Amino acid sequence: MRFSAFLPIWVSLFFFFAFKFLPLSGSILAASNVTFYGDAHLRHDAISLTQEHKCSQPSSSSSFPASFTSTGVGRAIYLYPIQFIDPTTNTPASFSCRFSFTIIQSPGCPFGDGMAFLITSSADSFSFSNGYIGLPGPALNPQDSFIAVEFDTHSDASFSDINDNHIGIDVNTIVSFASVDAMSNGLDLRSRRQITAWIEYIDVAKLVRVWASYSHTKPKIPILEARIDLSEHFKEYMNVGFTAGNGQGSAVHIVDHWQFRTFWSPPSVNPTGEENCFMCYLQDSDEIENPNHKFQERRTKIREVGLGLGGLSAFLVSIVAIISIIIFFLTKKNNGNSRICKGDGSGPTRLSIAEIKAATLGFHRSRVIGEGASATVYKGFLPSVGAVAIKRFNKAQIDCSRNPFITEFATIVGCLKHKNLVQLQGWCCEKAELVLVYEFLPNGTLDKKLHDNSSSSVIFLSWKQRVNIVLGVAAALSYLHEECERQIIHRDVKTCNIMLDEEYNPKVGDFGLAEVYEHSTLTREATIPAGTMGYLAPEYVYSGIPSAKTDVYSFGVVVLEVATGRRPVDDNGIVVVDWVWNLWEQGQLIKATDSKLKGKYNGVEMERMLLIGLSCVHPNHEERPTMKEAAKILKGEAPLPILPCRKPKVGFQYSLPEYSQERTATAAATVGGDSSSGTDDLTWLTPKSQFGY
């Protein structure tokens, strides 16, 4: 069963949080999942966004002297970024929010600027200018975005404020997209009374609605309504919270009883009807005074959560299916032994999605350190571990028949213990997120160190480092092929899957395409060739049958890449394997040396590396060494391989589809060498139409 079949069910689930605030102290705090910036702090179990300032200006003043410099700004942000866009379907979220607030003017002072409910892509982007309520100013980074509903208690003509007692909707600017006079709707923001506000956005209707009341009962008619497509301003993950500013005045802005929810609404929902139960609140007008308030609030939460239980149950079934497959891989026994390979028994830690998001700032783009077809890798920080590399698998790849997450997890978890393999620290399978957490390797990938000339900060690899890297990769592959109780074929050996630690020691990673076999296996089923252009062995491309020797071929390409500094296939389509073979045929093998080394290498070691590289990419897989043999030759512990004077031609048979009438069921093909022999011209080049970088 395909995991993606469950997606229409779980996308209707909602994100929800509701809390009261616990007292802490400090300038930047985190309590009850809220982070405080600037003047914001906890006050009597509620959020105080600003602090009271002493001043001598009359409260009735409509203009303030230049000497009045109170510009206190505070912001309270929910600790974890919230998803507003599903990147797989590009579906935007709808949301609803309810909170109570009070604005208390400081004695003898004019009012402050006011406060706002805020959704922002940059939690630490502030403006301390008068009138901005702490919202970002005109210098807003074009890559950033914010949406705010302001409760403004100061009038500024330069911002087109309608008065000093209004509610407005702001999008990327302090100038309101839509606003309404609160007083004309029976509401005085300056009254010192507690006000409850409801804010809802329904994406299918592109509609924002705001209600406000002294009561805890939601009014039937919104105080402000505006049609706008907020999805154009959503980022995948954004921060949610409140901001306030005092400008040249002084007031305390207090928030409590905050609730927030997001929804991926089903198309059948009527966006403007009042019967939208997925967005309804219980009518609890007496919740503050009622002694049973806590019980009622708990009952309300239970009902809200209950709305998603049907979809949640289906989602949990799919998770169980994934876990079952993982367990199957891990518990498949071999003569009573349930391990894929020998290890110390220690395993990775299961982590929550909240921990993962906190570690990556909500999978923020600034944390991306690598991207592939099936996953994106982020740099993160976990308090219990330190710096980590967090691999987030793309939802589009969730397919139980070939799930890179399951394959990689089942291959490496708790078993692959080798100094030249990337070690798994933790994993997460929650809320449709599939994540693996690895040790962080500060020097990135071998690919970037060899080929990335875009930055002057890239450190050049010395010859000694290159030799050490090749030997380390050889040791890792030898371990996978011969030392594990079950043989592991990596199938995707390439320089961008080889990471370097702080001392430039190599570690092989990315087991998303790996295959696990019993050592006694004599035959293997054909598969769709998977890998990267330039690294695939010719027999694997045409037969689809992976083996240890196909890994050896890929290793040979890596060796030639390290020695020559050339990509497997350059921008002109020149294949490094063919290029080095050509120099060997001309008796000029040493000319293949990377010019960036500027002659600073050991000639004997360079020749040995180039020869073992060619030996590993021999067109005939039977002539290639094993990884253990290759490692011995590289160390000088075994004689150099004997290579033919010219790149050999190799005949092999391949099957054609039954419907093909153009050729017989099998045909001989010539691979490599001179294609002028009259046989089919199938000189090896990985088909560009099937394989990409």
Could you give the residue numbers annotated as active site? 492
- Please name which of 553, 558, 566 lies closest in space to residue 596, comparing C-alpha atoms: 566
Strand partners, 166: 152, 181
**Residue labelled with tokens 């609730």:** 259
3-state per-residue secondary structure call for 135-170: CCCCCCCCCCCEEEEEEECCCCHHHCCCCCCEEEEE
d(CA 17, CA 259): 6
3-state per-residue secondary structure call for 82-127: EECEECCCCEECEEEEEEEEEEEECCCCCCCCEEEEEEECCCCCCC
b/e per residue, 183-202, with b = 16+ CB within 10 A?
Answer: eeeebebbeeebbbbbbbbb
Distance of alpha carbon 202 from its chain centroid, rounded? 26
b/e per residue, 293-314, with b = 16+ CB within 10 A?
Answer: eeeebeebeeebeebbeebbeb
- Please name which of 410, 397, 393 lies closest in space to residue 324, comparing C-alpha atoms: 410
Q: Rg (Cα) of the chain, in Å, rounded? A: 32
d(CA 363, CA 372): 15
Count Cβ atoms below 10 Å from residue 572 Cβ, excluding itself: 5
Q: Which residues contact 495 (CB under 8 A, 6 or more apart)?
A: 445, 446, 447, 450, 451, 558, 561, 562
Query: Would you mind telling me the total number of residues written for the chain in this entry?
Result: 693
Q: Long-range contacts: 216-223, Cβ < 8 Å, 24+? A: 216/100, 216/284, 216/285, 216/286, 216/287, 216/288, 217/283, 217/284, 217/285, 218/98, 218/281, 218/283, 220/274, 223/167, 223/180, 223/182, 223/185, 223/187
Strand partners, 101: 195, 255
